[in-house]
Amino acid sequence: MEEKKDPKQMSFLLGSIKPDEERKPRQEVARLPELTKDSTFASALANFDAYMRRKGFTHNTMKAFRSDLNILGEFLGRDAKLADISTETLMQFIEYLRTGRGKPASEKSISRRITTLKVFFSWLKESEVIETDPAASLVYHRVQVPLPQVLTDREVRQLMETARDLAIGRPDLPWKRKPDTRPYLLLTLLLYTGIKKGECMRIRLDDIDRSEEPSVLIRYDSPRFQHKTRRLLLPQHFIPLLDQYVEQYHPTDLLFTCTARNLEYNLKDLGEVAGIKKKVSFEILRWTFAVRAYRYGTPPEQLKEKLGISDVTWHDVFPKIKRLASPAI
């Protein structure tokens, strides 16, 4: 039986605060020649490169996209006009990848290159350079990989109840007789924000807003990753929990002064004490947050922002979230 949705809980999952005032101004990019449908494919590559930098694509993603588009350029001829590239042309290119380049490309490589085509031509369409997107109807032939694990509603309740017990002490556990608030604080933080381990380790006490609507700022100081900077809502009970944690651990700057490995052990031990057969980790809690937020009605674009992931990664992540969210968990 599906758990009844708590309106207050939904407000935390759906809520979003954009820290515009926290963001640093983006670096200006040199002005490039304006593209039209009669521009050559080769001339569009520099503009697309500037677009990827503005959007904060990772170095590896940009490198992969450039390589894929260079192969397309070889196939088209670099003087090919953008207006002349049709869906049929791109389908011929995909067939060329399978049979015409000597060593056939794997389905995994072809799937990635289709992603490149979709991102590139979608950008041209949204920029009004071309009228129709020739890559829109291309179909992925994805290699089937297991879906990531998520926790059920029952398992989440078990974890929360066990974490609360540990926060007041468990006489039956020799290593947890004394109250320990850190597992409860960590679990609450991850279930309500879905942040990654590295982001968790960088949180400073000053990043936590103690107002009537508590929130935490996930900060990226590098201009390259400014698009990942975001402020996420926290439940109101997080602040009293934080006060108890500070009283026990005495942090002065960073929220967590231990190593990331120690936090991993906290989650693993918490799962074992709670009787959860799945391995409780940063990853499973991030996916659990995403699936629960989507099931509670968070719009996809807002969920992407809350997770702090790029458009490219979202192409792969969102279908998994939808599949995981389809049955009640």
Q: What is the pLDDT of residue 22?
A: 44
DSSP summary character for residue 123: H
Q: What is the pTM of this model?
A: 0.65
Per-residue HEC secondary structure of 221-251 comes to CCHHHHHHCEEEECCCCHHHHHHHHHHHHCC
- What pLDDT score does 57 carry? 84
Query: Which is nearest to 235 in space by CA: 249, 253, 216?
Result: 216
Range(s) of the chain covered by CATH 1.10.150: 41-126
The pLDDT tens digits for 6-41 are: 544 444 444 444 444 444 444 444 556 789 999 999
Instruction: Reduce the DSSP state of residue 254 to 3 states and report it.
Output: strand
Question: Which is higher by pLDDT, 169 or 196?
Answer: 196
Q: On the CB side of 150, how many CA atoms lie within 13 Å of its CA?
A: 24
The pLDDT of residue 146 is 82
Question: Do 154 and 79 meet the contact criterion of CB atoms below 8 Å apart?
Answer: no
Say if residue 310's pLDDT is above 90.
no
What pLDDT is recorded for position 222? 81
- Average the pLDDT over 217-231 and give the result: 87
* Tally of CB atoms within 10 A around 210: 12
| Amino acid (1-letter code) at residue 280 | V
pLDDT band at 218 (very low <50, low <70, confident <90, very high): very high
CATH architecture of 7-25+148-325: Orthogonal Bundle (1.10)
Take residue 250 and report the two structure tokens written for it: 């005495």
Tell me which of 26-40, 68-82, 127-141, 206-220 is least confident. 26-40
The rounded percent of the chain whose pLDDT value lies above 90 is: 63
pLDDT, position 54: 85
3-state helix, strand, coil in the chain (%, to 5): 60, 5, 40
DSSP 267-286: HHHHHHHHT-SSPP-HHHHH
Cβ atoms of 109 and 97 within 8 Å: the answer is: yes
Residues belonging to the chain: 329
> Tokens at residue 33, please?
């020649």
Q: What is the band of 144 on the pLDDT scale with cuts at 50, 70, 90?
A: low
Q: Which of 325, 329, 54 is nearest to 317 (CA)?
A: 325
Under a CB-based contact definition with an 8 Å cutoff, are residues 148 and 320 in contact?
yes
Share of the chain above pLDDT 70, in %: 84
For residue 328, what pLDDT is reported? 54
- Residue ranges of the chain assigned to CATH 1.10.443.10: 7-25+148-325
pLDDT: which is higher, 30 or 205: 205
Give the pLDDT score at 141.
63
Q: What pLDDT was estimated at residue 327?
A: 66
Whole-number pLDDT of residue 55: 84
Residues near 56 by beta carbon (within 8 Å), at least 6 away in sequence:
224, 225, 226, 227, 228, 310
**Domain spanning 41-126 has what CATH number?**
1.10.150
- Structural tokens at position 5: 């949705």
Kind and range of the H or E element at 162? Answer: helix 153-168
Of 160, 183, 180, residue with least CA distance to 169: 180
Is 307's pLDDT higher than 70? yes
